[in-house]
Amino acid sequence: MKNFIIKAIEHLGVLIFPFFVYSTMDEMNQNKSAISAYALSIVFYLMMLITVLFYLKYHSEKITEFIFGKLNKIKFSIYILFVITYIPAICAVYYICIYKYDPCSFQNVNGANFLERYINFFYYSLGIFFMNVNSSIEASSPYAIIFSSTEMISSFIAIVLILTNYQSLKKSH
């Protein structure tokens, strides 16, 4: 139970950290010049890339544990569910920070308050992750498009390469 609480706090920290970075950078540069927008996007992109790579590594470790019998099917299914919902949740946080900084980065964003916008961005992010974009939100700035593309690549790695091949990986060992 103690290990579960520690892991939950770590994952929550990863989810909240982009807001901290956004707040810090926003306070540093109140004029919101084009240079600061690109600096924010570079910092956010590197953070997102590191986070996504960490969760893909985390997921591949769980696949390895499952292959070698160290993890039962129920726990493995929970980890799969966690990773495929947590990566879009993290990406939605980045999208909402980018939108808050520059509302022109995304078009057709609905929602009057933070929770409604987060739900819309989460829906958009799930659509990207599962390669079925039904959301009306569209990335319109170069850095928003790069973020969306990175999420597409990570979903390809997580879903197509790992999840669809785990049975064949198990048979090979």
- Residue-wise pLDDT for 44-82, tens only, equals 788 888 888 887 787 778 777 877 778 787 887 888 788
User: What is the per-residue pLDDT across 72-111, written as a single tens digit (0 to 9) for each?
Assistant: 878 878 887 888 888 888 888 888 888 887 888 899 898 8
Q: Residue 61 has what pLDDT?
A: 80
Q: What is the pLDDT of residue 121?
A: 92
In angstroms, rounded to a whole number, what is the distance separating the alpha carbons of residues 96 and 140? 14
| pLDDT score of 169 more than 60 | no
Range of the domain at 92: 2-26+33-172
pLDDT at residue 122, rounded to an integer: 92
What is the number of domains present in the chain? 1
Question: What is the value of pTM for the model shown?
Answer: 0.79
Long-range contact pairs involving 35-38 (C-beta distance under 8 Å, separation at least 24): 37/101, 37/102, 37/143, 38/143
Average pLDDT, the chain: 78
